Amino acid sequence: MRKKIIGIFVCMLLITTILPITVMAGDEKNPEIKDKTGDIMFKHADIISVWFHEDENNPGYLYISFKVRDLINRTQTLETIYVVDWGFRGNTYSVDFHVFPYGVSEFYSGKWNINDNEYESYVICNGIFDVDNNIITWIIPKDAIGNPQPGNLLTELFASTHLRFPFSTMMPHWDLFRDLSWNAWYRKDYTVQF
Ligand SMILES: [Ca+2]
């Protein structure tokens, strides 16, 4: 009996030490952010989940994938902005992507200045706009986001969408609707792999 209990205890220890390693890297089934569905009436702006991932063969890049309920490549009237930000070594880093009535923007990423509410420095990066699967993916050079090294932790991951009149309409450029991940089911940190 005692051996059995010790055996179970050892198994539990192993599971608790192995599990965090296997679930550190996100994928669609194990996202870092899992948001509530239906908390905004615009399906193309409704955050489902966000996952951070990397490719061993492309270690200089961080991938961030953002899934919404129903992605569209043109909006009717409003500009829709997709944003993910996170903390690393006391700084805030961010990615963003826009869908307008006339099409989509580039993929942006960089260091965010929270006081000025704009990028302190940014790059236009590669990305994948996958309307069929409702996923936007940024492919971010790590040197644009503070050069995180293997084992470093990216914290306070936060996703949001914002709907505004585009600048071209001359209407006030503030948020009319948004989906924020404050009410997400969960938000996890991400450990850099490569
Ligand atoms: Ca949502």
The predicted-structure confidence for 49-74, as pLDDT tens digits, reads as follows 999 999 999 999 999 999 999 999 99
C-alpha atoms less than 13 angstroms from C-alpha of 162 in its C-beta half-sphere: 13
**What's the domain count of the chain?**
1
Give me the pLDDT at residue 7, please: 57
User: Is 120 within a domain?
Assistant: yes
Tell me how far the alpha carbon of residue 40 lies from the centroid of ligand 1, in angstroms: 6
Sign of CA dihedral 177, 136, 79, 112: positive
Q: Is residue 187's pLDDT more than 80?
A: yes
Tell me how far the alpha carbon of residue 32 lies from the centroid of ligand 1, in angstroms: 14
Q: Is residue 94's pLDDT more than 60?
A: yes
The model's confidence at residue 21, banded by pLDDT at 50, 70 and 90, is: very low
Tell me how far the alpha carbon of residue 90 lies from the centroid of ligand 1, in angstroms: 27
Q: Is residue 12's pLDDT more than 80?
A: no
Give me the pLDDT at residue 106, please: 98
Judged by average pLDDT, the poorest of 75-84, 120-129, 144-153, 167-176 is 167-176
Give me the pLDDT at residue 26, please: 82
Tell me how far the alpha carbon of residue 161 lies from the centroid of ligand 1, in angstroms: 9
- pLDDT > 90 in the chain, percent: 84
Instruction: Spell out the long-range contacts of 91-97 with Cβ–Cβ below 8 A and sequence spacing 24 or more.
Output: 91/146, 93/145, 93/146, 93/154, 94/119, 95/64, 95/125, 95/138, 95/140, 97/66, 97/127, 97/129, 97/136, 97/138
Mean pLDDT of the chain: 91
User: Is 17 within a domain?
Assistant: no
Amino acid at the residue 8: I
Range of the domain at 121: 27-191
Residue bearing the bigger pLDDT, 71 or 17: 71
Tell me how far the alpha carbon of residue 80 lies from the centroid of ligand 1, in angstroms: 14
Tell me how far the alpha carbon of residue 23 lies from the centroid of ligand 1, in angstroms: 23
Give me the pLDDT at residue 5, please: 55
User: Is 90 within a domain?
Assistant: yes
Q: Is residue 19's pLDDT more than 50?
A: no
Give me the pLDDT at residue 20, please: 46
Q: Is residue 157's pLDDT more than 50?
A: yes
